[in-house]
Amino acid sequence: MSLNVRDMKSKNMAPKGGATSGSASSGKAVAKIGSAHQRNPGFELDLDWVDRIVMNRSALERRAATIGARRTVKKQYQAAWLLKAITLIDLTTLNSDDTNGRVRRLCAKAKNPVRRDILQALGANDLPIRPGAVCVYHNFVATAVEALEGTNIPVAAVSTAFPHGLTPLDIRLREIKASVKAGAKEIDIVIERSQVLNQDWQGLYDQIKAFREACGDAHIKTILGTGELATQTNVAKASLVCMLAGADFIKTSTGKEKVNANLVTSLSMVRMIREFYQKTKIEIGYKPAGGISSAKSALTYMALMKEELGIKWLEPHLFRFGASSLLTDIERQLEHQVTGRYAADYRQPMV
């Protein structure tokens, strides 16, 4: 079955019955990576606003249960959404046994994320299908920058003593600056979870401001470690404090916690993004990370973003998946669209 390029532009590129809070773009559905938008300048810490935030977990759970059950896309529309999903992936390797060779192979995959014969069969070989970024440890930033030269794919570095964030502050700040100097365009920092658990909002705000300043022109994604924050109210309050301090993205997890990204936590975070936008007119990005490994899950998260924030948030400068294996399943689904058969994983090797 062939996918006509018109399907990538159609207003029908939406889950059936989806919300109408955003209209479809008249241009190509796959946006250029790094689309320009007003960066978050940061605001003064408003403790009255933080104190007013309360999340109803039961209501969030009821809402989350409806998203995957009601929102489906089929056939050529599913293929279009999955191609779109690739452009939203931070292609990631954060393993203790990472090597320069593995990072180079990951970057090669980033440059050609889907086999050419599959793209050609889908009628999508001329579309700019590239991941949102390649995410690595600081030690491999220079390797990734060199491997991606000329592609316009940014390198993201995890920083600030990832994944725990518990080294002295001056060391974390130096790590950020070193990654930026090495060529990282995005920095994924981790917060100190104890500041949230102790309700030390001033301390959290001050640290994120310092991290943002150290990032300079590089965009900052703040990892909350939501599985360790105890309550959805804590998740929402931490999200707000990070945005007030100047975060460009808020991100769920390091991928190393026992509980990583899920729809309930995602609702808490994206609703704070919505409230922040309504009050400041600043668009903040969202990055769920950890455990998102299937194409079906990716489509569900995309439906959530469209319904809660609008179609404009389905662009790489406002939404990313933090994933290492998601691309493999998306490729398998795309090949199924073409051949009617599911391929073995090894036919779409990552590294």
Tokens of 270: 């994206």
**DSSP H stretches of helix in the chain:** 47-52, 57-70, 75-86, 100-111, 116-121, 141-147, 169-182, 193-197, 201-215, 232-244, 263-280, 295-309, 326-339
User: Is 188 a catalytic site residue?
Assistant: yes
Is a pLDDT exceeding 80 seen at residue 184? yes
Residue 251 lies in a domain: yes
* pLDDT tens digits, one per residue of 280-328: 999 999 999 998 999 999 999 999 999 999 999 999 999 999 988 899 9
How much is the mean pLDDT over the chain? Answer: 89
Q: Do 96 and 53 form a contact (C-beta atoms < 8 A)?
A: no
Residue 133 lies in a domain: yes
Q: In this predicted model, which residue has the larger pLDDT, 150 or 16? A: 150
Catalytic site residue from 109, 185, 237, 287: 287
Whole-number Å distance between alpha carbons of 82 and 193: 34
Residue 29 lies in a domain: no
pLDDT more than 70, % of the chain: 88
Q: Which residues of 143-182 are buried (b: 16+ CB within 10 A; e: fewer)?
A: bbbebbeeeebbbbbbbbbbbebeeeeeebbebbbbbbeb
Residue 239 lies in a domain: yes
Mean pLDDT to the nearest integer, 338-349: 80
Residue 9 lies in a domain: no
HSE value, Cβ hemisphere, 13 Å, CA-based, for 166: 5
Whole-number Å distance between alpha carbons of 151 and 26: 25
- Cβ-in-10-Å burial (0-12, 13-18, 19+) of 14 comes to buried
- Residue range(s) defining the domain that contains residue 50: 41-347
Is a pLDDT exceeding 70 seen at residue 174? yes
* Nearby residues of 45 by Cβ (< 8 Å), 6 or more positions away: 201, 202, 205, 241, 244, 245
Q: Do 316 and 88 form a contact (C-beta atoms < 8 A)?
A: yes
**DSSP H stretches of helix in 112-164:** 116-121, 141-147
Residue 33 lies in a domain: no
Q: What is the pLDDT of residue 1?
A: 42
* pLDDT tens digits, one per residue of 12-35: 444 333 333 333 332 333 333 344
Residue that has been written with the tokens 């073409």 in this structure: 338
Catalytic site residue from 109, 251, 306, 312: 251
Q: What is the CATH number of the domain that holds 302?
A: 3.20.20.70
Mean pLDDT to the nearest integer, 99-106: 97
Whole-number Å distance between alpha carbons of 106 and 131: 11
- DSSP type of residue 140: G
* Nearby residues of 277 by Cβ (< 8 Å), 6 or more positions away: 283, 284, 309
Q: What is the pLDDT of residue 346?
A: 72
Tokens of 202: 């001033």
Query: Of 33, 179, 114, whose CA–CA distance to 337 is shortest?
Result: 114
Mean pLDDT to the nearest integer, 170-175: 98
Q: Do 254 and 287 form a contact (C-beta atoms < 8 A)?
A: no
User: Is 279 a catalytic site residue?
Assistant: no
Catalytic site residue from 188, 248, 306, 329: 188
Query: What is the domain count for the chain?
Result: 1
Whole-number Å distance between alpha carbons of 309 and 169: 34
Residue 152 lies in a domain: yes
Residue 131 lies in a domain: yes
